């Protein structure tokens, strides 16, 4: 499984490349691209949090949690603050 930082770095590299390519274009909208990057980064971080929350790593094998406990953790994670 890929680690969190590697995934986020790949996303940033992709958007920086697109921003560099569109810099020479007359119709390029850097603000739109910046917004899309921030939106996608937020979505990706949410998905990675869910993966970490629901996934079981080898370090967690000794402290297994039930599906009900995972659902409660997910509920706490998504609760508006």
SS (H, E, C) 4-72: HHHHHHHHHHHHHHHHHHHHCCCCCCHHHHHHHHHHHHHHHHHHHHHHHHHCCCHHHCCCCCCHHHHHH
Residue-wise pLDDT for 14-73, tens only, equals: 888 888 887 777 666 777 888 888 888 888 888 888 888 887 655 555 555 787 887 787
Quick one: pLDDT at residue 10?
87
Which residues, at least 6 apart from 48, have a Cβ–Cβ distance to it below 8 Å? Answer: 4, 7
Residue 3 reports pLDDT greater than 80: yes
């Amino acid at each position: 499984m890929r680690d969190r930082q590697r995934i986020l770095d790949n996303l940033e590299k992709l958007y920086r490349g697109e921003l560099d390519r569109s810099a020479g274009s007359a119709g390029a909208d850097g603000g739109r691209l910046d917004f899309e990057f921030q939106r996608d980064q937020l979505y990706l971080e949410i998905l990675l949090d869910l993966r970490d929350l629901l996934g079981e790593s080898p370090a967690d094998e000794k402290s297994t949690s039930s599906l009900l406990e995972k659902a409660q953790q997910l509920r706490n994670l998504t609760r508006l603050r």
